[in-house]
Amino acid sequence: MKPYIHRVQYYETDMMGITHHANYIRWMEEARIDFMDQLGFPYAKMEAAGVYSPVRSVSCEYRHPSTFGDTVSIAVSVEAFNGVILTIGYDMRNETGETVCAARSEHVFLTKDGRFVRLKRELPEFCAAIEDCMS
């Protein structure tokens, strides 16, 4: 999969000119949506099938600051998937290759009324695509 590229915008920085920490979580979502598109399962397609994927948890380790105008490359990887919980890793690097943030998010899959979805039965192609990313 191709990494997602994000250019740091002025409004994403604080008074010190450094990217505000909350923006990295937004970038994770942008990268995750791009990853799903590349996988062939856009979020809109999943939602049309009645499957929603809320975030269960998020963790970020901020290693090096990014600033206005920086280009951040976000590599997305599947760290774990058990058919119920999907754990995604994010390696965010600046133009010089330094890691600015190492992060992960966990997602579950639910119906609109909040019931867990049996993905292997409901979306077997999605499961296969995710499992292919793990090998």
The one catalytic residue among 14, 37, 91, 113: 14
- What's the fold here for domain 4-134? Thiol Ester Dehydrase; Chain A (3.10.129)
**d(Cα 122, Cα 135) in Å, to the nearest integer?**
22
HSE (side-chain half, CA atoms, 13 Å) at 70:
23
At 135 the pLDDT is 66
Residue spans of the domains in the chain: they are 4-134
Query: Span 26-55, mean pLDDT?
Result: 94
User: Which residues share a beta bridge with 77?
Assistant: 89
Tens of pLDDT along 14-38?
Answer: 999 999 999 999 999 999 999 999 9
Is residue 14 annotated as a catalytic residue, yes or no?
A: yes
pLDDT at 45: 87
Residue closest to 14 by CA, chosen among 57, 82, 67, 62? 67
Residue 81 in this model has a pLDDT that exceeds 80: yes
Q: Could you tell me what percent of the chain has a pLDDT over 90? A: 86
- Of these ranges, 46-55, 68-77, 113-122, the one predicted with the greatest mean pLDDT is 68-77
pLDDT score for 121: 87
d(CA 109, CA 128): 15
How far apart (Å, rounded) are the C-alpha atoms in residues 54 and 50? 13
**For 97-111, what is the mean pLDDT?**
97
